Structure 1
């Protein structure tokens, strides 16, 4: 294993991207790829014993809301690397990056037809906002990122809308809503075209509520974009072996924030009773405290990953995620197609029927399968299929796909 790669690829970044993708597929598979609220009692069969409860707790504490954040952080980092590489060559990459995002939007829209929880369309739209931030000073970047993480977007939305949804009727968000029941039934019993038709418009409106409403996922995503841009400026991952003290500081401060945010979450939500309604300021503060808890755990995972990557044995194991990360787009879309086939009615139809422990094991099996397949594929090809298509469309020319040699990197 090498700690840094030559030319444009940075092995630890690819490995971290692959590791992040592994966490994402575990969450999605255990959630049965629903990407929406589920009717009351619909998922009871997924929780039948202590093992299922442990899986639930593991995902809530360590995975949900954390690995998407790592993935978003790496998107911002990749944006900086592409812009910086072009700048070094005396080129302006802004127009090309915008076109690249338009292509990603198209890929994401097709992916969204299968899975309503698609993140590619979100990345494509939010990525446009990265372009004017590229030359912003570090002070402004950190200041805006901090305000986002402290819930500024949520508070503005809440002040403007109170408890009213901007995109869909409020009763559609309830597990007892007929619309929720109908969508679940479409996933469970419908044909592929039925799923596509439901996701094509209604799915985007529901996603916009989650992304731009008081739950603030889009604002947090953009905050991690900016953080990745900021870290990229300091060439941290190119020289991560030299930043031992910094990484340890990040780890300990994150642990402190994690403990503090748990206390904040418990204190704020305990005031709201068992039936929490997000129509008051304590609930908004509680959601921000929960965000801070997820952010803290994200930094803990990131710091531990870097620390372990420096160690010879652990680093060799973590480096196995690098091919997986180099094909992240292909692997992400492939996961969704396989996952929806397993659960939805157009496929095997196991929605709501498999215990959490079984879907967790399916996720582990899928990760290892894709790790092996990615390594094999990149032995013979320069890019994953979707990566090659994305790159070729970005530059409007066909790049070579097949390797002339089969030397592994």
Structure 2
């Protein structure tokens, strides 16, 4: 691998990071974790398409309502906004490097490799592969002016919203195919060994791909909105953040109640992000939310670690709890894992500059081993 050693081409120094963005990323990771553990590790990801199930516990019903209405797709949309902003930040910070395009393309290529490994060998609910592919589409647009980024974002989001109302024929698998997959998942994920789970995970990939295809346009549009938020200076404009947050949350909630979930989800994600960024910009906000910053700085490592841990807890090659827990019990396990990651991330970053996977990602991107220990220059 050819190394890039110019002075202008190097990773962002941890001291130069924007803490509020790390805080937001750490909080967003909680929402992603909650949905993953409750709806994708506890039971089959496709069970939700077979209609609502009768829950034995009123607590489970309440928790499910909160997760589906306030968290579910909003957390993933928020992560997409953050990824787009992060890509734009790196693009702009590498402006003086003649290797900028090659570096960022390599960064996305490495992410794609990580995503495929995660998708095939660890958990097929992976989002990294989709993010890498969307990133390749967004990257050329970052060379354009803000109006072009804004226009492209609106076009991609409009196309996504149009597909919600008029999905192409055959876009989704049949109900019969989904039902068979859920029945097989209940048996194999719950009792199968690692190779059995691996084989079934690979067999599910065409079904998983249809889910990603359905939201791919939204992902691109949200990447571009995140990039626009950075380019316009909104990320650091506390007053503007609150001006956006309040109406976005109010309108998003109203649209959800009115049955316009796709658009409501996007607006709620924008509102959540603006509110948390704005609050985290105040000194009091930093004190109350600062615990999430280390988790956000290590979001890549923590995301993959959650997949490994939850796979062992729920699948047959581990504790085999798949299909045996209620929503509240599964969420409690997820919260325990999340809290452990909060403590571990703070401990790790007192000693090291990056999380383990973040360090590997940067080293492969630049083609040079990056300093890892805090004392290293």
TM-score range, shorter chain: 0.7 to 0.9
Which residue of structure 1 aligns with residue 117 of structure 2?
110
Matching residue within 76, 98, 107 for 1:91? 98
Post-superposition shift, 1:185?
1.8
Which residue of structure 2 aligns with residue 220 of structure 1?
218
C-alpha separation between the residues in 2 aligned to 1:39 and 1:331? 26
Q: How does 1:316-395 map to 2 (within 5 A)?
A: 316-395=287-366
Give yes or no for contact 2:88–2:142 (8 Å, CA) kept in 1. yes
Aligned-residue Cα RMSD (Å) equals: 2.6
Count of aligned pairs between the two proteins: 362
C-alpha separation between the residues in 1 aligned to 2:44 and 2:144? 35
Post-superposition shift, 1:26?
1.1
1:36 paired with 2:45, answer yes
Q: How does 1:155-304 map to 2 (within 5 A)?
A: 155=162, 162-165=168-171, 169-171=173-175, 173-174=177-178, 177-200=179-202, 202-212=203-213, 216-237=214-235, 239-240=236-237, 243-244=238-239, 246-262=240-256, 264-265=258-259, 289-304=260-275
Query: Given the superposition, is the C-alpha separation of residues 173 and 148 from structure 1 closer, same or farther in structure 2, using an over 3 Å criterion?
Result: farther
Give yes or no for contact 1:149–1:291 (8 Å, CA) kept in 2. no
Deviation sequence 1:157-193 (CA, Å, 0-9, x none)? 986x73313xx7524553xx32331133221111112
Which residue of structure 2 aligns with residue 281 of structure 1?
none
Give yes or no for contact 1:39–1:181 (8 Å, CA) kept in 2. no
Which residue of structure 2 aligns with residue 282 of structure 1?
none
Structure 1: state its 5+ residue gaps: 266-288
C-alpha separation between the residues in 1 aligned to 2:44 and 2:23? 26
Query: Given the superposition, is the C-alpha separation of residues 23 and 171 from structure 1 closer, same or farther in structure 2, using an over 3 Å criterion?
Result: closer
C-alpha separation between the residues in 2 aligned to 1:352 and 1:382? 39
C-alpha separation between the residues in 2 aligned to 1:71 and 1:320? 18
Query: Given the superposition, is the C-alpha separation of residues 148 and 253 from structure 1 closer, same or farther in structure 2, using an over 3 Å criterion?
Result: farther
Post-superposition shift, 1:141?
2.0
Post-superposition shift, 1:59?
0.5
Post-superposition shift, 1:316?
1.1
C-alpha separation between the residues in 2 aligned to 1:263 and 1:44? 21
Task: Give the structure-2-normalised TM-score.
Answer: 0.88
Post-superposition shift, 1:72?
0.9
Give yes or no for contact 1:148–1:223 (8 Å, CA) kept in 2. yes
C-alpha separation between the residues in 2 aligned to 1:345 and 1:329? 25
Deviation sequence 1:249-281 (CA, Å, 0-9, x none)? 21233134224413541xxxxxxxxxxxxxxxx
Which residue of structure 2 aligns with residue 274 of structure 1?
none
Query: Given the superposition, is the C-alpha separation of residues 256 and 143 from structure 1 closer, same or farther in structure 2, using an over 3 Å criterion?
Result: farther
Post-superposition shift, 1:303?
2.5
Deviation sequence 1:326-371 (CA, Å, 0-9, x none)? 1111100000111111111111011121121112222221111101
Post-superposition shift, 1:392?
0.9
Q: Secondary structure of the equivalent of 1:65?
A: helix
Query: Given the superposition, is the C-alpha separation of residues 318 and 356 from structure 1 closer, same or farther in structure 2, using an over 3 Å criterion?
Result: same
Give yes or no for contact 1:247–1:307 (8 Å, CA) kept in 2. yes
Query: Given the superposition, is the C-alpha separation of residues 361 and 158 from structure 1 closer, same or farther in structure 2, using an over 3 Å criterion?
Result: closer
Task: Give the structure-1-normalised TM-score.
Answer: 0.81
1:15 paired with 2:17, answer no
Deviation sequence 1:289-342 (CA, Å, 0-9, x none)? 211111121122112213322443332121211110111111000001111111
Which residue of structure 1 aligns with residue 6 of structure 2?
none
